[in-house]
Structure 1
Amino acid sequence: MTGIMPDQINQTIGEQEEMYQNIIEYSLETIVIHVDYNILYINESGTDFFRAPKQAIIGGNILSVFQPSSHDMIKKRIQKAMTEGVLSPLIEEKIIRADGTVVETELYCRPVTYGNRKVMQSVFRDISVRKEAEKMLKNREKLASVGQIAAGIVHEVKNPLTAVKGFLQLLKESHSHPYLQTMENELDKALMTLQNLLQVSKPDLQDEPLIPIDFCKELQSLMLLFQDKLYNVEVEMDLRNPGSRILGKKNLYLKAFFNLIKNALEAIHEKGKIKISHYCDNQWVYIKVADTGVGVPEEKLSMLGTPFFSSKSDGTGLGLTQVYTTIHEHGGHISVESRLGEGTTFSIRLPISH
């Protein structure tokens, strides 16, 4: 240390502390300093992450950002880390932001020295985009697996049914009986169901070309097909950003949105309302179809889009399967929210064509 004055040492330490503070303050990850669950500090990224100014966050309780069911577990992790002086393992938790939205995060905490105090530093990382990508991949893999099974079933069942229909037609030519026509009608329904299942499971069988589609125009045209069903239903069309185009197979898309609107109407048993919205943001087109119908139980939402799962007593579920398959095959994303007795909203995001 010869030749280095105390003032120089203090200056060097001060510069290092300032550099460390700047690294923390402008880190891309959310960093929160707290002791006894009381928040002492939050960095700049944290204010964006929690959607609140620093003065509204500092002084608050760190537990308040977690869902109540996680409070006991978070307390135990903090206490263990403080007692043992070790880094707590990385975990995934849902965080409640100041505006009430919930976001998926990774987080860990470790004890550090803040001033002259031993405190806890918690680091949050937003993983909602990653979680959404994992969910989309899982859904695509599920649809692909179901599609392979469905295609096999169709071929195994369709051939004998077609043979039965042929012999039934021959029987009608030599014998007249009203039951024969009923049998043929039911066979036609079964064959049509199998054909729909094949189209859903193998959408690439349709050699329709990709063309630019303006959904503002197409959604208005689709609603004209339902005029006879709108006596007790109010329809609100909020179609912004006309002229924005999606590149895709037009007939597949029209069939998908026809199915969505049809489901929305069928969910309203008496009077109700349907709202269809369209807007663009950051190279994506967003389309929502919302109804005030009977709704779907929360435990069944994850099953929507699966063949032969339907909340309707006479439904096959193939309509929604076609919707999900079409959206995923075009690189889009679909999600659903529903409450029993209040209604259902399907939210779709599609890439804008260039």
Structure 2
Amino acid sequence: MHFMSSQEYTTAQEHAAQIDSIRTQYEELAELAGSLAHEIKNPLSVIHMNIDLLSEDLAEIDSPISRRSVDRVDIVRQQCERMEGLLRDFLRYARLRDIDLVPGSLNEQIETVLRAYQAQADAADIDIEKYLDPDLPAIMLHSDSLQAALMNLVKNALEAMEEGGQIWARTYPTRTGVALDLIDTGSGVDDNTVLHMFEPFYSTKEGGSGLGLPTARKIIEAHGGRISVQSEIGRGTKFVLEFPTPKRLG
């Protein structure tokens, strides 16, 4: 058995103190960023409202100048809407802290999300196949946030398939809990995108906030779980979500 020397103990204490200091600074920065986003949101809403009013006024004036002005006002409105969406996604990301978890069914969560997107899938000629283990053990979950994470993943899968395709959802027990595979036959992404896709503000989509997947990962990690991804251009993408199962619920 190894006992720490006084020097090793002091070093460990200093290291722990540094970690606590970094964590405190991060929390303060996150709180400041959230407050700043709120402060930006309010005047932006006022700008958006007045842009709409200005557009209505210009529409009543029939002249070449007013028509050009309407086009420019539309550009400003579109950018306002983009900024409002970005702020909305950021605040959702920044607010996610500890969540209250209760026993629940992962199968029911993915079933609810897939039902919500069934009409969109049908319209796009996309088949949704479900292979959900009926004996899947319960997990500790927060329904609203977990469904939000799953909706982001399913939405991404649908958007990756322009001319039909398939989505597979499969649940199964693992050695330490349960897992969910979400597989699509979409366009896939390259290795560099896989490497960075969970980083905040990284996006390959036109007008995307780059916060959807980071928020999904943050939600899954708040459930004690983890998410991984494999993808190949031209073949599709596979997300694997793993959640622990407390022994008392197994």
Same fold (TM over 0.5): yes
The amino acid across from 1:220 in the alignment is: E
Change (3 A) 1:271 1:176: same
Match of 1:302 in 2: 195
Q: Determine the structure 1 residue equivalent to 2:177.
A: 284
Change (3 A) 1:339 1:160: closer
The residue that corresponds to 1:130 in the other structure is: none
Q: How does 1:1-354 map to 2 (within 5 A)?
A: 152-166=32-46, 169=49, 176-177=57-58, 179=70, 183=76, 186-204=79-97, 209-231=100-122, 232-242=125-135, 244-353=137-246, 354=249
Q: Secondary structure at the match of 1:274?
A: strand
Which amino acid in the other structure matches residue 57 of structure 2? S
Where do 5+ consecutive residues of structure 2 fail to align?
A: 1-21, 60-69
Measure, in 2, the Cα distance between the counterparts of 1:252 and 1:337. 24
**TM-score normalized with structure 1 length:** 0.52
* Matches of 1:324 and 1:227, distance apart in 2: 24
Per mean C-alpha deviation after superposition, the further-off stretch among 166-175 and 274-283 is 166-175
CA distance in 1, matches of 2:178, 2:136: 11
Q: Which deviations, in whole Å up to 9, do the C-alpha atoms of 1:113-164 show, x marking residues without a partner?
A: xxxxxxxxxxxxxxxxxxxxxxxxxxxx9xx96x876654453354245224
Rate the CA distance shift 1:182–1:331 in 2: closer, same or farther, 3 A: same
- Specify the SS of the correspondent of 1:293: coil
**Alpha-carbon contact 1:148-1:201 (below 8 Å) kept:** no
| Alpha-carbon distance in structure 2 between the residues aligned to 1:349 and 1:339 | 21
Residue 83 (structure 1) aligns with: none
- 317-326 or 188-197: bigger deviation: 188-197
Instruction: Give the 3 Å change call, closer, same or farther, for CA 148–261 of structure 1 in structure 2.
Output: farther
What SS is found at the alignment partner of 1:325? Answer: helix
Counterpart residue type for residue 43 of structure 2: A
Structure 1 residues 165 and 299, CA, compared in 2 at 3 Å: closer, same or farther?
Answer: closer
Distance 1:316 1:172 in 2: 23
Aligned length: 209
* 1:218 partner amino acid: Q
Q: Share of identical aligned residues, percent? A: 24
Task: Pick 1 or 2: higher relative contact order, CA cutoff 8 A, min separation 6.
Answer: 2
TM-score (norm 2): 0.72
Asked if 1 retains the 8 angstrom alpha-carbon contact of 2:169 and 2:181, the reply is yes
Query: Deviations along 1:326-350, whole A, 9 cap, x unmatched?
Result: 1112211111101111111001110
Q: Distance in 2 between matches of 1:168 and 1:347?
A: 40
Larger radius of gyration: 1
Distance 1:197 1:242, change over 3 A: farther
Q: Which residue of 2 aligns with 1:97?
A: none
Q: Judge conservation of contact 1:154–1:194 (CA < 8 Å) in 2.
A: no
CA distance in 1, matches of 2:222, 2:150: 15
Whether the 8 Å contact between 1:241 and 1:279 is mirrored in structure 2 is: no
Distance 2:107 2:171 in 1: 7
* 1-structure distance, mates of 2:47, 2:149: 35
Is this contact kept in 2: 1:158–1:191, CA < 8 A?
no
Shift in CA distance, 162/245, structure 1 to aligned 2, threshold 3 Å: same
Q: Which has the higher helix share?
A: 2
Q: Take 2:47 and 2:159, find their aligned partners in 1: how far apart are those partners? A: 37
Amino acid at match of 1:300: T
Structure 1 unaligned residues grouped into runs of 5+ = 1-140
